[in-house]
Structure formats: C-alpha cells, structure tokens
C-alpha cells in the first residue's frame, strides 16, 4: 500500500524569490552596520591614543619649562640643560617665534619616544611666549603650546590639543 501526499495549496511550498531577496537585503544591511561600527570604533580609538600621546608630550615639555629658573624661560633657550644639543643630546628649545615647529625629527623623538607613533601624521608644535611687565620688571610669563597632527586615515580636520603654563617671577 503506497500513499502519495500531494500538496495542493501553493502557499505551503516555500519562500518566494522576493521574500528571499528581502531577507538577504536585510541581512546585508545588518552586516554593513556592524562593519561600520567596527571601523568607527577603530578610528575613535586611534584618535584617543594619539591625543593621549600629544597630551603626554605637552605635559613632559611644560614640566621641563616649569623646572627652569624664571630668567631662563625665553625664546631660543633650551627647556632643560640636558636638552641643549651638546654632546649628541637632543636640542629642545623654546621657539624664538610663534612659527610651527615640526616634531617628526630625531631631537623630539629622542626627548619623547612616543612621538614616533605620530611620525607620519606631520605633528607640529606652536609655542607663544608672552611676558607681562610690572614696573619695568618681568613679572609673568605665559606659555601657550598647541600641538597639531593629521587625523587617522586622512579623514577630517587636523587634530589639536593645547596646554597653557603661567610662570610668575621667582621670589
């Protein structure tokens, strides 16, 4: 005794091509959204790491300047006697003008080795030194240091961070 089942209702046979294409399209959108989130997160992490490196450099630089005697905080003078360029040591000075100084060189990368991570991003530092005179004598020195570099993957504006230092005459 052989039995044959025959389905006469066409709706029970399976999915139509349109339904399958809609399912594949929805799945493709989901996968694309996941990959976009991964790429966005990676770029955000790169920016955060680079900003941390830049901030650490600025802190290192300003700590050296803070340790100087008040009279030695001047354009063209080294930030520390150890970094005066003598005997092969790095030559790190307070710039005499407010022009941008490139940081992707051996002097700055020896002074702060983490700058190597920014080497290909064209890091530049701009220092503005302003002296306030009271009764004919220098009383305050305001140092504004701005560090800029190219963004990851060349997307967006140049990244920037800055730090201010106010030195008052030594008593």
Regarding pTM above 0.85, the answer is: no
Nearest Cα to 129, choosing from 73, 67, 60?
Answer: 73
Nearest Cα to 151, choosing from 112, 127, 120?
Answer: 120
**Tokens matching residue 72:** 């030695």
Residue located via tokens 């009271």: 134
What is d(CA 132, CA 166) in angstroms, rounded to the nearest whole number? 10
What is d(CA 164, CA 88) in angstroms, rounded to the nearest whole number? 30
Judged by DSSP in three states, 124 sits in strand
Q: pLDDT value at position 86?
A: 87
Contact 46, 156 (CB under 8 A): no
Domain ranges of the chain: 48-168
Q: pLDDT value at position 12?
A: 60
Q: pLDDT value at position 157?
A: 86
Residue located via tokens 């003078």: 77
Q: pLDDT value at position 32?
A: 94
Judged by DSSP in three states, 137 sits in strand
**Tokens matching residue 163:** 């730090």
- The one-digit pLDDT tens for each residue of the chain (171 residues) are 566 656 555 556 677 888 889 999 999 999 999 999 998 898 889 889 999 999 999 999 999 999 999 999 999 999 988 888 888 889 999 999 989 999 999 999 999 999 999 999 999 999 999 999 999 999 999 999 999 999 887 778 899 999 999 988 877
Determine the Cα angle at 85 with ends 95 and 102, to 5°.
40
């Amino acid at each position: 005794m052989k039995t044959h089942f025959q389905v006469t209702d066409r709706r029970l046979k399976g999915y139509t091509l349109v339904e399958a294409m809609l399912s594949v399209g929805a799945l493709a959108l989901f996968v694309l959204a996941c990959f976009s989130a991964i790429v966005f997160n990676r770029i955000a992490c790169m920016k955060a790491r680079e900003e941390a490196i830049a901030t650490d450099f600025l802190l290192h630089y300003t700590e050296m300047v803070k340790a100087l005697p008040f009279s030695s905080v001047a354009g063209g003078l080294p930030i520390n006697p150890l970094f005066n360029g003598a005997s092969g040591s790095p030559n790190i000075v307070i710039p005499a003008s407010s022009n941008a100084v490139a940081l992707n060189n051996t002097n700055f990368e020896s002074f702060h080795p983490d700058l190597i991570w920014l080497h290909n991003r064209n890091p530049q530092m701009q220092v503005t030194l302003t002296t306030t005179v009271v009764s004919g004598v220098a009383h305050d020195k305001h140092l504004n240091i701005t560090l800029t570099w190219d963004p990851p993957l060349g997307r967006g504006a140049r990244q920037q961070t800055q730090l201010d230092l106010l030195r008052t005459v030594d008593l």
